[in-house]
Structure 1
Amino acid sequence: MGAQRPYTDLLPDLNEFVPGLVDEIIDGIRATIPDYDRPQGSPYNEIIRCGVERNVLGFVEWLADPGRPLERRNDLCRRIGAFEAMEGRPLAVLQSAYRIGAQLGWSRIQSLLAEREPSAVAVSVLAEALFRYMDEAAELSREGYDRVRAEEDEKRDAARLLLLRDLVRRSDADVEALHPAAEWTAPAQVTLVALPPRTSAVRPLLDPDLLLDLHTPEPYLLVPGPLTAPRRAMLEAALASGRAAVGLPVPPARAADSLRWARRMLALITEGIFDDGTLTLCEDHLVSMWLLSDGPLMEQIARRQLSFLTRADERRRQWLADTLRAWLRTRGPAGRMGEDLGLHVQTVRYRMRVLEEILQEDLTDPDSRFATETVLRALWLRGRTG
């Protein structure tokens, strides 16, 4: 608190004023702050009285001996801060109580000083001492408050991680009940987001109700509800330097499905098939994802449906595939196909005659036509990456 100062020369013995000042401060706090206005005689009021009394006595004792340690005061202030955190009140409420105590204390001191007519310097010195003392007390309470909040946040985050992992492993609709410490209520829908390995997210930018698991080789997070425009903007800001794949919104019991789809999309992004920027949404590519869901099986279908292409040279194979795909896509006349392919109508008619000769009834059979169109679309998607 600094060097010795002749505070006892400025004021009379303050001990006789302590009880009345303690009552005045308590009444002022209760009248100003509703959180502290409890019934007379309640245990909570005893806590308030203990805190006020210890701080007032500590200040009076320190005035008499500025060099004396204040361990009791310091420990009590930290415990008061911890108690406020456990009660769930904002720290600002306690800080307001400290300000009220300092103002009322200074008002009482001023009335005592008026009887002695001290110098302006002496008044300034004493005012500085009082408000520094109270600032230190408030800071000690903040330390206790922050310690408890940090411990509570750590416990809640650990519980939320376990909850998230259970959600993507199990189909229990009430899995949240297994983790009450998570303090998280499941919404009607959830959306899972797959992240690349070693993703670096700007955590302060993420909404506090998101669930995250970044401590895994395949990190991911859960967004409560569908991916609304504000949620999307939030993720794009927090993941600005990376890529992510967004699954479909599903009931919480189906969270594993949303994550599976998101991870499949992330693999396709890695292969270079899709890239919509920071976020690629499964719902924007549902059919394409389905076509690419089983590569080896699609290859088997391709061998059967497009075996005729293996008998043609490379140049002929390409225009046969392009023409067949255009016909399947447009179902239009030669003129429409010509516009689509950028070819003269006679060239298109020639190519169609070649295809009709090769495929015969397969060209008009509904099942065969559907299988061929499906495999050509899948090959086209793959072909975009070379």
Structure 2
Amino acid sequence: MYSELLPSLTKLVPGLVGEIVDSVRAAIPDYDRPQGSPYNEVIRSGVERNVLGFVAGLADPAQPHDRRNELCRKLGAFEAMEGRPLAVLQSAYRIGAQLAWSRIRDVLSGQELSAAAVSALAASLFRYMDDAAELSREGYDQVKGAEHEKREAARRLLLRDLVRGPDTDCAAVATLHPAADWAAPDQVTLVALPTGAPVVRPLLDPDLLLDLHDPEPYLLVPGPLTEPRRTMLESALADSRAAVGLTVPLARAADSLRWARQVLALVADGVLDDGTLTLCEDHLVSTWLLADGPLMDQIAQRRLAFLTGVEERRRPWLTDTLRAWLRTRGPAARMSDDLGLHVQTVRYRMRVLEGILREDLTEPDNRFATETALRALWLRGRAGGPGGPSPAGP
């Protein structure tokens, strides 16, 4: 009946999808997220699949809508996970149906269709959208069901027990939470999140454990953080920062979480570069050096005590020179390149240091302690704290 309309309706699809998405975002504040964000892409995908499904159904009424149906259920589940009433999504469906019919009527104005055919087309469209809304209700109810609630609560308790402390008896913990329905892996990777971090939960893999109720929210990834897992997390975190701990045996999950939280704190302080995901694996030494700030302060006070006898204006260039020597163990020529200074200036500085430190420059343990103290102070200085890198002096 509508075969002559199909070319015009097909051309209409891209613009109509964008128009519906914009109208929904404008009318419903909960859906007004930045263009290109994972959240917005979920909405766009839902609109596009429904519009394409309707046009395909006109071409072949017997064509199944399996992909559309599954997506509509997921949209309903998404609403439940986000804690919104289903009425919000139903409003979006109504906006989409009304706008679609308005644009279809524009196409019909140039066609010779009987009033009965136009009426049947309108009924078909609104029936199609009613079906989509009902499918979303199924997904919503499934998530809201008592069984799901029970499993989520059990998984949250399981996760808390797994990270309670080192050498957790994982087998015993698993038997305490049979309702969690979770297959314990040999290894896990913990991820620390900032308080209140937005998480698009439907984009998370179903085997992840998460506790967003904790004051310091976190999640557990079974196994290592593979590239697909990383992509999944970056999408689900919607550009919020997170820190990834090391992959460890399940019994050491608490260690992985502790390291992840340390890295997250260093990112927040500006010590480590910001990004969606910061991996502990990439910052092992920095994490170790700054894991116990007060203890590192004590080491610095002892190893850098020689600075107390040096004029304040000379301290920055002495520490810069000492760091360069400890880092390179090189001759004056190499250090001059590293510091951007004349060779004679470097030699003069080294003579001053040798006169102050004497055997501390040659004794391995003292040299190592001094280097770690300087490195820790330099890292802190990256965040604008005391003891950071300073311009070279004369």
* Aligned-residue offset at 1:151: 2.5
Superposed CA RMSD: 2.5
Structure 2 CA distance for aligned equivalents of residues 371 and 245 of structure 1? 28
Instruction: Map 1:145-160; keep pairs closer than 5 Å.
Output: 146=141, 150-160=145-155
SS for the counterpart of 2:278 is strand
SS for the counterpart of 1:152 is helix
- Which structure: larger Rg? 1
* Aligned-residue offset at 1:149: 7.7
Structure 1 CA distance for aligned equivalents of residues 380 and 205 of structure 2? 36
Indicate yes or no: 2:180 matched with 1:182: yes
* Aligned-residue offset at 1:291: 0.6
Indicate yes or no: 2:164 matched with 1:169: yes
Give CA-to-partner distance per residue, 1:203-253, whole Å, 9 cap, x none.
111111110100121110000111111111111111123111111111111
Structure 2 CA distance for aligned equivalents of residues 267 and 366 of structure 1? 32
Structure 1 gaps, min length 5:
1-131
SS for the counterpart of 2:163 is helix
Instruction: Map 1:1-386; keep pairs closer than 5 Å.
Output: 146=141, 150-170=145-165, 171-174=168-171, 175-386=173-384
Query: In the alignment, which residue of structure 1 is the partner of 2:124?
Result: none
Query: In the alignment, which residue of structure 2 is the partner of 1:79?
Result: none
Label 1:238 to 1:149 Cα distance change in 2 as closer, same or farther (>3 A): closer
For 1:285, give the aligned amino acid.
H
For 1:279, give the aligned amino acid.
L
For 2:156, give the aligned amino acid.
L
For 1:156, give the aligned amino acid.
R
* Aligned-residue offset at 1:311: 2.2
* Aligned-residue offset at 1:147: 5.3
State the aligned residue count: 252
Identical columns (%):
77
Label 1:299 to 1:149 Cα distance change in 2 as closer, same or farther (>3 A): closer
Moved more, 149-158 or 291-300: 149-158
SS for the counterpart of 1:272 is coil
* Aligned-residue offset at 1:202: 0.7
* Aligned-residue offset at 1:325: 0.5
Structure 2 gaps, min length 5:
1-126, 385-394
* Aligned-residue offset at 1:312: 2.1
SS for the counterpart of 1:285 is helix
Label 1:348 to 1:216 Cα distance change in 2 as closer, same or farther (>3 A): same
Label 1:364 to 1:245 Cα distance change in 2 as closer, same or farther (>3 A): same
Give CA-to-partner distance per residue, 1:256-282, whole Å, 9 cap, x none.
111111111111111111124011111
Structure 1 CA distance for aligned equivalents of residues 170 and 218 of structure 2? 20
TM-score, with structure 2 as normaliser: 0.60
Structure 2 CA distance for aligned equivalents of residues 277 and 383 of structure 1? 19
